[in-house]
């Protein structure tokens, strides 16, 4: 009864929860939580119950938002309330507490966010152009010499660019081993974040079960993850410190050396905290930024292979701006409206983070006649918004013209960049870097290569299919085949 009384106090008008399927006692809607391609499952629920669906899983309230109106009203419009993240016990057990994307909304998160933003805001991104160009040149050469392994080259292009912008190591082998380590963390995180994957998230008491007891295997698993987390955060930062101390900051500006040089003296009482902060913000850029950018770049290759007419238009535009003798620069962007539309259409067509990251509200809320209790876990279905025919005609087709005022479809009314990078105070702080590296990738591929689908046994081009893997916050595609042929006259540009 006590909880009923307090709930009445919290919800004096006795407003209902938003609509949703009836759950079973105790486990609630556990059966309705999609575990595979979650965005599709949530979309089905929205088709049945409307653009805001309430679920309850073992006592945890969940709200799925399926339209631009809902995410704009709640996550952007009421951002101060809706920018928290749910706290899950595996954060502590798995040693994830260094990672600011999952930190609760508060002063410690804010300090991380501010430090990160200083190095990746719109005006800071040009510092990394020299690294981006060097890595692009390496990538183009690899693609020419060994086009079959194109996906691997895409991985190392984005991985190495991010690692170098962060830590400034110029040594290829060093960056490769750091990427290998960070990849291991990324793989383990993917599985750990699905609701219901670890029972300990629903029953925090389980964290006191000793690891040797039957059924407590997760304890050991999480210990291993904690060890990986520790390595990923400390190893590169310590090496960067040594490099700075030896006067080897890397050939180009990078985040770690700037942060390390501005740390207070060893004798200063603020030193330890400042160093933790610097170490943490460095470690997040690869983990948060690599898979998302790689997924997006792979999706571009698929879209180009299936849409030769898009490719031809973009190449004609690039040829005029570049002439025969040079590679694209990021500053060419202002003169390439069609290519900009291709990049926007890519962001819409293949959303690398289809349900963004979950948000949580700090306070009870009333909205549109419904009660939303504090601590509700919120899934914004970005994929559904980007594929709603109300927002974008023929949403599954790749049509850049919709961003240039129409063509044979209606003009786009939503900018994908306001959606695919998330919302409110949590909006992706790497979005400017991401948008820039994807643009440069698109320009460089298109200027130098023809991308095509493989042929079937009769010599007809197949349709290239892109299928995201089943789990994880990022829709990383399964490998697929795609042909890259150097465009006539561009051979000499691959150094």
Q: Is the dihedral of CA 308, 309, 312, 313 positive or negative?
A: negative
Residue number with CB closer to ligand HEM (120 or 139): 120
Q: Write out the binding residues for ligand HEM, residues 106-125 only, by CB under 6 A.
A: 113, 116, 120
Residues counted in the chain? 495
| 284 binding ligand HEM? (CB under 6 A) | yes
Residue number with CB closer to ligand HEM (150 or 423): 423
| 357 binding ligand HEM? (CB under 6 A) | yes
| 101 binding ligand HEM? (CB under 6 A) | yes
Print the binding letters for residues 403-422 with ligand HEM: x by CB under 6 A, - otherwise: -----------------xxx
Pick from 96, 133, 423, 449: which binds ligand HEM (CB under 6 A)?
Answer: 423
Shortest distance, position 318 Cβ to ligand HEM, whole Å:
22
Residue number with CB closer to ligand HEM (100 or 133): 100
Residue number with CB closer to ligand HEM (57 or 347): 347
The three-state DSSP-derived secondary structure of the chain is: CHHHHHHHHHCCCCCCCCCCCCCECCCECHHHCCCCCHHHHHHHHHHHHCCEEEEEECCEEEEEECCHHHHHHHHHCCCCCCCECCCCHHHHHCCCCCCHHHCCCCHHHHHHHHHHHHHHCCCCHHHHHHHHHHHHHHHHHHHHHCHHHHHHHHHHHHHHHHHHHHHCCCCHHHHHHHHHHHHHHHHHHHHHCCCCCCHHHHCHHHHHCCCCCCCCHHHHHHHHHHHHHHHHHHHHHHHHHHHHHCCCCCCCCCHHHHHHHCCCCCCCCCHHHHHHHHHHHHHHHHHHHHHHHHHHHHHHHHHHHHCHHHHHHHHHHHHHHHCCCCCCCHHHHHHCHHHHHHHHHHHHHCCCCCCCCCEECCCCEEECCEEECCCCEEEECHHHHHCCCCCCCCCCCCCHHHHHCCCCCCCCCCCHHHCCCCCHHHCCCCHHHHHHHHHHHHHHHHHHEEEECCECCCCCECCCCCCECCCCCCCCECCCCCEEEECCCCHHHCC
Q: Interface with ligand HEM by CB under 6 A: which range of 186-194, 217-225, 280-288, 311-319? A: 280-288
Residue number with CB closer to ligand HEM (61 or 450): 61
Helices 129-145 and 150-167 pack at an angle, to 10 degrees, of 160
Residue number with CB closer to ligand HEM (86 or 94): 86
| 288 binding ligand HEM? (CB under 6 A) | yes
Print the binding letters for residues 431-470 with ligand HEM: x by CB under 6 A, - otherwise: --xx------------------------------------
Q: Interface with ligand HEM by CB under 6 A: which range of 37-45, 185-193, 251-259, 425-433? A: 425-433
Is 482 annotated as belonging to a binding site?
A: no
Shortest distance, position 196 Cβ to ligand HEM, whole Å:
21
| 95 binding ligand HEM? (CB under 6 A) | no
Residue number with CB closer to ligand HEM (95 or 101): 101
Pick from 296, 377, 448, 471: which binds ligand HEM (CB under 6 A)?
Answer: 296
Residue number with CB closer to ligand HEM (297 or 336): 297
| 427 binding ligand HEM? (CB under 6 A) | yes
Pick from 56, 292, 381, 436: which binds ligand HEM (CB under 6 A)?
Answer: 292
Residue number with CB closer to ligand HEM (28 or 289): 289
Tokens, residue 224:
């291993």
The rounded distance, in Å, linking the Cα atoms of 103 and 91 is: 9
Shortest distance, position 112 Cβ to ligand HEM, whole Å:
8
Q: Write out the binding residues for ligand HEM, residues 334-353 only, by CB under 6 A.
A: 352-353
| 163 binding ligand HEM? (CB under 6 A) | no
Which residues contribute to the annotated binding site for heme? 428
Residue ranges in contact with ligand HEM by CB under 6 A: 100-101, 113, 116, 120, 284-285, 288-289, 292-293, 296, 352-353, 356-357, 359, 420-423, 426-430, 433-434
């Amino acid at each position: 009864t006590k909880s009923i009384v307090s709930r009445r106090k919290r919800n004096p008008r006795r407003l209902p929860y938003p609509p949703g399927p009836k759950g079973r006692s105790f486990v609630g809607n556990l059966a309705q939580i999609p575990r595979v391609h979650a965005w599709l499952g949530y979309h089905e629920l929205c088709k049945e119950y409307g653009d805001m669906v309430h679920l309850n899983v073992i006592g945890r309230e969940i709200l799925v938002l399926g339209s631009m109106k809902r995410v704009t009203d709640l996550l952007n419009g009421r951002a101060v309330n809706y920018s928290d993240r749910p706290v899950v016990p595996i954060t502590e057990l798995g040693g994830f507490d260094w990672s600011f994307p999952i930190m609760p909304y508060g002063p410690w998160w804010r300090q991380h966010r501010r430090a990160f933003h200083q190095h990746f805001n719109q005006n800071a991104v040009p510092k990394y152009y020299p690294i981006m160009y060097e890595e692009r040149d390496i990538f183009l050469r690899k693609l020419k010499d060994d086009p079959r392994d194109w996906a691997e080259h895409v991985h190392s292009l984005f991985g190495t660019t991010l690692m170098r912008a962060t830590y400034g190591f110029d040594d290829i082998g060093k960056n490769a081993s750091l990427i290998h380590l960070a990849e291991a963390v990324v793989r383990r995180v993917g599985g750990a974040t699905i609701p219901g994957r670890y029972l300990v998230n629903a029953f925090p008491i389980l964290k006191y079960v000793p690891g040797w007891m039957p059924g407590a295997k997760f304890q050991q698993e999480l210990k291993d993850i904690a060890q990986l987390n520790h390595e990923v955060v400390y190893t590169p930062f310590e090496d960067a410190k040594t490099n700075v101390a030896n006067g080897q900051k890397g050939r180009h500006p990078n985040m770690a050396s700037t942060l390390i040089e501005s740390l207070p003296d060893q004798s200063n009482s603020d030193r330890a905290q400042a160093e933790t902060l610097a170490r943490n913000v460095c470690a997040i850029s690869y983990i948060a930024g690599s898979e998302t950018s790689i997924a997006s770049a792979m999706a571009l290759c698929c879209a180009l292979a299936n849409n030769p007419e898009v490719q031809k238009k973009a190449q004609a535009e690039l040829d005029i701006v570049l002439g025969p003798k040079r590679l694209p620069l990021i500053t060419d962007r202002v003169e390439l409206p069609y290519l900009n539309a291709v990049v926007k259409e890519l962001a819409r067509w293949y959303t690398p983070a289809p349900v963004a990251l979950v948000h949580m509200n700090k306070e009870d809320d009333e909205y549109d006649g419904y009660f939303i209790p504090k601590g509700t876990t919120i899934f914004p279905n970005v994929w559904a918004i980007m594929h709603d025919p109300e927002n974008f005609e023929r949403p599954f087709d790749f049509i850049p013209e919709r961003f240039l005022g129409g063509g044979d479809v209606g003009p786009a009314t939503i900018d994908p960049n306001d959606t695919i990078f998330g919302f409110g105070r949590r909006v992706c702080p790497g979005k400017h870097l991401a948008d820039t590296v994807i643009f440069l990738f698109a320009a460089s591929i298109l200027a130098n290569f023809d991308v095509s689908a493989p042929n079937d046994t009769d010599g007809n081009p197949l349709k290239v299919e892109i299928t995201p893997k089943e789990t994880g916050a990022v829709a990383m595609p399964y490998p697929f085949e795609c042909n890259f042929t150097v465009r006539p006259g561009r051979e000499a540009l691959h150094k």
